[in-house]
Amino acid sequence: MTLEQIARHLRHANAVARRAAGMGRHPFGALLVAPDGETVLAEQGNIDTVNHAESTLARHAAGTYPGAYLRECTLVTTFEPCAMCAGTIYWAGIGRVVYGASEEALLALTGSHEENPTLSLPCREVFARGQRSVEVIGPVPPLEGEMVETHKGFWATR
Protein backbone atom coordinates (compact mmCIF):
# COMPACT_ATOMS: atom_id res chain seq x y z
CA MET A 1 0.00 0.00 0.00
CA THR A 2 1.17 3.50 -0.78
CA LEU A 3 1.15 6.23 1.87
CA GLU A 4 -1.72 7.89 -0.01
CA GLN A 5 -3.77 4.67 0.11
CA ILE A 6 -2.99 4.20 3.81
CA ALA A 7 -4.09 7.76 4.59
CA ARG A 8 -7.31 7.42 2.57
CA HIS A 9 -8.24 4.11 4.17
CA LEU A 10 -7.43 5.30 7.70
CA ARG A 11 -9.66 8.32 7.20
CA HIS A 12 -12.42 6.03 5.90
CA ALA A 13 -12.02 3.78 8.96
CA ASN A 14 -12.19 6.87 11.16
CA ALA A 15 -15.48 7.87 9.51
CA VAL A 16 -16.78 4.38 10.37
CA ALA A 17 -15.61 4.95 13.96
CA ARG A 18 -17.48 8.27 14.15
CA ARG A 19 -20.60 6.55 12.83
CA ALA A 20 -20.26 3.89 15.55
CA ALA A 21 -19.95 6.63 18.18
CA GLY A 22 -23.08 8.25 16.76
CA MET A 23 -24.91 5.00 17.53
CA GLY A 24 -23.68 5.05 21.12
CA ARG A 25 -20.91 2.51 20.50
CA HIS A 26 -17.21 2.87 21.19
CA PRO A 27 -15.57 4.93 18.40
CA PHE A 28 -13.47 2.32 16.59
CA GLY A 29 -13.63 1.46 12.90
CA ALA A 30 -12.01 -1.08 10.59
CA LEU A 31 -11.89 -1.89 6.88
CA LEU A 32 -10.89 -4.97 4.92
CA VAL A 33 -8.97 -3.87 1.81
CA ALA A 34 -8.44 -6.12 -1.20
CA PRO A 35 -4.99 -7.06 -2.49
CA ASP A 36 -5.13 -4.19 -5.00
CA GLY A 37 -4.83 -1.75 -2.08
CA GLU A 38 -7.86 0.16 -3.36
CA THR A 39 -11.03 -1.89 -3.06
CA VAL A 40 -12.78 -1.86 0.30
CA LEU A 41 -14.34 -5.29 0.70
CA ALA A 42 -16.04 -4.62 4.06
CA GLU A 43 -16.21 -2.11 6.88
CA GLN A 44 -17.12 -2.51 10.52
CA GLY A 45 -17.65 -0.25 13.50
CA ASN A 46 -17.37 -1.36 17.10
CA ILE A 47 -20.38 -3.27 18.41
CA ASP A 48 -19.64 -3.76 22.11
CA THR A 49 -16.84 -4.62 24.52
CA VAL A 50 -16.35 -8.15 23.13
CA ASN A 51 -17.36 -7.60 19.51
CA HIS A 52 -14.71 -5.14 18.46
CA ALA A 53 -14.63 -3.74 14.95
CA GLU A 54 -11.46 -5.67 14.05
CA SER A 55 -12.46 -9.07 15.42
CA THR A 56 -15.98 -8.86 13.98
CA LEU A 57 -14.57 -7.90 10.58
CA ALA A 58 -11.93 -10.67 10.71
CA ARG A 59 -14.55 -13.32 11.53
CA HIS A 60 -16.72 -12.09 8.65
CA ALA A 61 -13.73 -12.15 6.29
CA ALA A 62 -12.77 -15.69 7.32
CA GLY A 63 -16.26 -16.90 6.52
CA THR A 64 -16.42 -15.05 3.20
CA TYR A 65 -13.03 -15.26 1.49
CA PRO A 66 -10.53 -18.08 0.97
CA GLY A 67 -7.36 -18.09 3.05
CA ALA A 68 -5.01 -17.58 0.10
CA TYR A 69 -6.91 -14.41 -0.78
CA LEU A 70 -6.97 -13.08 2.80
CA ARG A 71 -3.19 -13.47 3.06
CA GLU A 72 -3.02 -10.73 0.41
CA CYS A 73 -5.60 -8.47 2.10
CA THR A 74 -5.11 -5.65 4.61
CA LEU A 75 -7.16 -4.89 7.70
CA VAL A 76 -7.06 -1.13 8.29
CA THR A 77 -8.10 0.07 11.73
CA THR A 78 -8.16 3.33 13.64
CA PHE A 79 -6.30 2.01 16.70
CA GLU A 80 -3.83 -0.80 17.28
CA PRO A 81 -5.69 -4.11 17.55
CA CYS A 82 -5.98 -5.45 21.09
CA ALA A 83 -4.74 -8.96 21.90
CA MET A 84 -8.19 -10.47 21.23
CA CYS A 85 -8.46 -8.77 17.84
CA ALA A 86 -4.86 -9.57 16.90
CA GLY A 87 -5.53 -13.24 17.63
CA THR A 88 -8.70 -13.18 15.54
CA ILE A 89 -6.91 -11.44 12.66
CA TYR A 90 -4.17 -14.07 12.85
CA TRP A 91 -6.59 -17.00 12.85
CA ALA A 92 -8.60 -15.44 10.00
CA GLY A 93 -5.42 -15.46 7.93
CA ILE A 94 -5.32 -11.75 7.06
CA GLY A 95 -1.81 -10.89 5.90
CA ARG A 96 -1.40 -7.22 6.82
CA VAL A 97 -2.64 -4.79 9.47
CA VAL A 98 -2.46 -1.01 9.24
CA TYR A 99 -3.41 1.04 12.28
CA GLY A 100 -3.50 4.76 12.87
CA ALA A 101 -2.91 5.18 16.62
CA SER A 102 -1.19 3.04 19.23
CA GLU A 103 -2.58 1.22 22.23
CA GLU A 104 -0.60 3.68 24.38
CA ALA A 105 -2.48 6.58 22.78
CA LEU A 106 -5.75 4.80 23.57
CA LEU A 107 -4.74 4.24 27.20
CA ALA A 108 -3.97 7.96 27.49
CA LEU A 109 -7.56 8.65 26.38
CA THR A 110 -9.40 6.00 28.38
CA GLY A 111 -7.28 5.72 31.52
CA SER A 112 -8.82 3.07 33.74
CA HIS A 113 -12.27 3.32 32.16
CA GLU A 114 -14.19 0.14 32.96
CA GLU A 115 -15.63 -0.10 29.44
CA ASN A 116 -12.17 -0.23 27.85
CA PRO A 117 -9.55 -1.79 30.10
CA THR A 118 -6.62 -1.79 27.69
CA LEU A 119 -4.06 -4.59 27.58
CA SER A 120 -0.41 -3.67 27.41
CA LEU A 121 0.30 -6.29 24.76
CA PRO A 122 1.29 -4.89 21.36
CA CYS A 123 -0.23 -6.62 18.33
CA ARG A 124 3.26 -7.15 16.92
CA GLU A 125 4.07 -9.27 19.95
CA VAL A 126 0.91 -11.37 19.50
CA PHE A 127 1.67 -11.89 15.79
CA ALA A 128 5.33 -12.73 16.53
CA ARG A 129 4.19 -15.78 18.49
CA GLY A 130 2.44 -17.27 15.46
CA GLN A 131 3.71 -19.64 12.81
CA ARG A 132 2.96 -17.31 9.93
CA SER A 133 3.84 -13.67 9.60
CA VAL A 134 1.43 -10.76 9.66
CA GLU A 135 2.87 -7.50 8.38
CA VAL A 136 2.11 -4.54 10.65
CA ILE A 137 2.20 -0.88 9.66
CA GLY A 138 1.47 1.55 12.46
CA PRO A 139 1.08 3.80 14.17
CA VAL A 140 0.94 6.35 11.37
CA PRO A 141 2.15 9.59 13.03
CA PRO A 142 0.74 12.05 10.45
CA LEU A 143 -2.77 10.64 11.08
CA GLU A 144 -2.58 9.57 14.73
CA GLY A 145 -4.00 12.92 15.86
CA GLU A 146 -7.08 12.44 13.66
CA MET A 147 -7.74 9.03 15.19
CA VAL A 148 -7.30 10.40 18.71
CA GLU A 149 -9.56 13.40 18.00
CA THR A 150 -12.52 11.08 17.37
CA HIS A 151 -12.17 9.81 20.96
CA LYS A 152 -11.73 13.16 22.70
CA GLY A 153 -14.58 13.68 25.12
CA PHE A 154 -16.16 10.29 24.36
CA TRP A 155 -14.80 8.40 27.36
CA ALA A 156 -15.55 11.21 29.83
CA THR A 157 -19.26 11.07 28.96
CA ARG A 158 -19.61 7.32 29.52
Half-sphere exposure of 125 (CA within 13 A, CB side): 8
Residues 67-121 pLDDT 10s: 999 999 999 999 999 999 999 999 999 999 999 999 888 877 777 767 766 778 9
In this structure, the number of other CB atoms found within 10 A of the CB of residue 139 comes to 18
Q: What does the H/E/C string look like for 1-19?
A: CCHHHHHHHHHHHHHHHHH
Entry pTM: 0.94
- Active-site residue 54, yes or no? yes
What are 13's strand-pairing partners?
Answer: none
| pLDDT value for 103 | 86
Would you call 99 exposed, middle or buried from its count of C-beta atoms within 10 A (0-12, 13-18, 19+)?
Answer: buried
- Which one is catalytic: 4, 38, 54, 149? 54
